[in-house]
Amino acid sequence: GGSPATTSADGTPRPGADAPPAAAGSSPAPAASADGPALLGPDSTSDQRSRPVGAIFDGPQEDGDRPPKAVRADVDATSIRAVQTSVGLYAGLSVSGDLCLLVFPSGGAGIVTCASPDRVASDGLRIAWTTGFPSRNRDGSTGMITGDVTATWSGDDLITLTTPDRILAY
């Protein structure tokens, strides 16, 4: 049966025990980067978060790293790692060694864009899509919305996720 605790519209904070199991190993620290959220004013309606590529690929592939659907044959399925599963963003390598961003929008087919490491180092790699994702409202509540998302794999080895119109809740 469904749990009645799913309504948080009344603003009561949920205990941490309700956190999804996927978040257990990632220890989210919202104030991790001093130059990130601190620059966003309280009225900002866009969100940007970056993760070092090394931190994404440094561990073995776990169950949570596997995307919800099969990927193209030219992508090495064992190389895929989750970047931000709430928006369906993954990173991986092609069988020829190219760097790839993989996106699985809610209810849609996977989208893959790849480029050589040299090309990513000079020009970066960018992908944009529209998907449902958890958004934090100004009153602190969280709700699923559909919005635009952009991911960039930059030459300085960061993968940056941007939601231009909304704050990503997780």
Give the model confidence (pLDDT) of 117-156 as tens digits: 999 999 999 999 999 999 988 888 999 989 999 999 999 9
Looking at residue 108, what is its pLDDT?
Answer: 74
The reported pTM is: 0.70
pLDDT tens figures, 77-91: 999 999 999 999 999
Rounded Cα distance between 105 and 133, Å, is 9
The 8-class DSSP code of residue 116 comes to -
Q: What is the pLDDT of residue 107?
A: 72
Beta-strand relationship, 89-93 and 125-136: unpaired
Position of tokens 């009153």?
139
**φ/ψ of residue 22, rounded to 5:** -60, -25
Asked if pLDDT for residue 60 goes beyond 70, the answer is yes
Q: 3-state class of 37 per DSSP?
A: helix
